[in-house]
Amino acid sequence: MRKNESAENYLETILMLKNKNGAVRSIDIVRQMEFSKPSVSHAMSLLRQKGQITMDKEGWIELTDSGREIAEKIYERHCLLTQWLTRLGVSPEVAAEDACRLEHDLSEETFQKMKEHIHSQQRPE
């Protein structure tokens, strides 16, 4: 996994947990991603240094504007790719796993064209 991909996965996970639970702590990320506490702690430190998250004294994590922008971009890609692969007949589990890999490597141009194509296919007849 590339360094940038790892950071994107953490940011996406924080966004998903925040949307689901309303608040996020490192232990929630540990459970969701099934990583060790030290690994998550190190990643949170790096994300703080990059200005993509903040963490208060009690350990509550918030995305900064730049962190949220990245997380939302990756999450949109994940959702769209998962839907598309599922519609092609891929099982939901495999579709989600494959979408997770694809979401990081597609160029913005390719993703926008895929998005346009997928949305054009959803028009009611």
DSSP assignment of 37-100, as one string? Answer: HHHHHHHHHHHHHTTSEEE-TT-BEEE-HHHHHHHHHHHHHHHHHHHHHHHTT--HHHHHHHHH
Band (55; pLDDT cuts 50, 70, 90)? very high
Q: Which CATH number applies to 3-65?
A: 1.10.10.10
Q: Identify the architecture of domain 70-121 in CATH.
A: Orthogonal Bundle (1.10)
For range 65-94, the mean pLDDT: 95
The pTM assigned to this predicted structure is 0.86
Domain chopping of the chain, boundaries: 3-65, 70-121
* pLDDT tens digit sequence for 1-36: 455 889 999 999 999 999 999 999 999 999 999 999
